[in-house]
């Protein structure tokens, strides 16, 4: 299994196209199983179902007013927000992996993240949904219980006949800014979102920076999978740059 840890893409459209390009390369068999870990660019990621909701145009305007471009992501769940204090990760495999249950993939991704958190002495995290969270799911990673807990990691997956991907967004710091944009986006679409459900490692007292947590996750992946770290190749990067506009929602 290969590990890619490119630097932050300043353009969120390129960042999304990069993830889609990796998925397509694994699906086509030109790239083997891959783990990608990438610091986030500021954006709101919505699902295709979100684009059909009443109030979606208002949500796009609200996100834009906060300086967050809106992109359509391939995974399920609900709207997410990411910024300079977050990073994304994904585990991508060929279509044979689709024989496993979705729960197995969720458990795998959660175990990888929790292992990395332990390397940083973050022991309060556990798997579980929190009340009125953004992108709700029972395989979120949280601190605290269901009623008043805070989400630290959102996990989602994409499954096709040719490839699978499971991964998510890790919130390291900057939850106040994410609360502001998410509250406006969810309100515009008339969906529940409790501000206190948005957490971060910094909120738990950790002084780790995004790079520290990326390193911890990469080390955990090395132990679990024996990954080989490789640089991002020019072909994949150029293809992502070429296709960057496909996921972007034009400002309204």
- pLDDT tens digits, one per residue of 100-109: 999 999 999 9
Whole-number mean pLDDT of the chain? 95
Euclidean distance between CA atoms 80 and 63, whole angstroms: 11
Which H or E run includes 177?
helix 175-188
pLDDT band at 247 (very low <50, low <70, confident <90, very high): low
Euclidean distance between CA atoms 27 and 163, whole angstroms: 5
User: What's the confidence (pLDDT) of residue 38?
Assistant: 97
Locate the DSSP E strands across the chain: 2-4, 34-39, 43-46, 70-72, 80-82, 86-94, 125-127, 141-143, 150-159, 163-171, 228-229
List the domain boundaries for the chain. Answer: 2-247
Say what the pTM is: 0.94
107 or 10, which is more confident: 107
Q: Which fold has domain 2-247?
A: BirA Bifunctional Protein; domain 2 (3.30.930)
User: What's the confidence (pLDDT) of residue 132?
Assistant: 96
């Amino acid at each position: 299994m290969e590990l890619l840890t490119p630097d932050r893409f300043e353009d969120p459209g390129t960042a999304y196209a990069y993830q889609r390009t990796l998925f397509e390369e694994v699906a086509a068999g030109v790239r083997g199983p891959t783990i990608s870990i990438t610091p986030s660019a500021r954006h709101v990621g919505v699902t295709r179902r979100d684009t059909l909701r009443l109030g979606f145009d208002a949500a796009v305007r609200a996100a834009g007013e906060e300086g967050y471009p809106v992109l359509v992501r391939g995974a399920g769940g609900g709207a997410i927000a990411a910024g300079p204090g977050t990073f994304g990760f994904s585990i991508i495999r060929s279509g044979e992996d689709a024989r496993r249950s979705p729960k197995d993939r969720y458990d795998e991704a959660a175990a990888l993240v929790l292992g990395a958190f332990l390397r940083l002495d973050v022991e309060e995290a556990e798997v579980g949904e929190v009340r009125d969270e953004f992108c709700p799911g029972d395989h979120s990673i949280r601190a605290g219980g269901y009623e008043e807990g805070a989400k630290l990691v959102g996990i989602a997956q994409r499954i096709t006949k040719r490839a699978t991907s499971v991964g998510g967004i890790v919130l390291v710091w900057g939850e106040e800014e994410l609360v502001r944009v998410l509250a406006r986006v969810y309100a515009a679409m008339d969906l529940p979102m409790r501000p206190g459900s948005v957490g971060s490692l910094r909120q738990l007292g950790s002084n780790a920076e995004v790079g520290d947590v990326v390193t911890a996750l990469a080390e955990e992946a090395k132990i679990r999978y024996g990954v080989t770290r490789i640089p991002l190749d020019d072909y994949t990067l150029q293809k992502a740059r070429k296709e960057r506009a496909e996921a972007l929602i034009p400002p309204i």
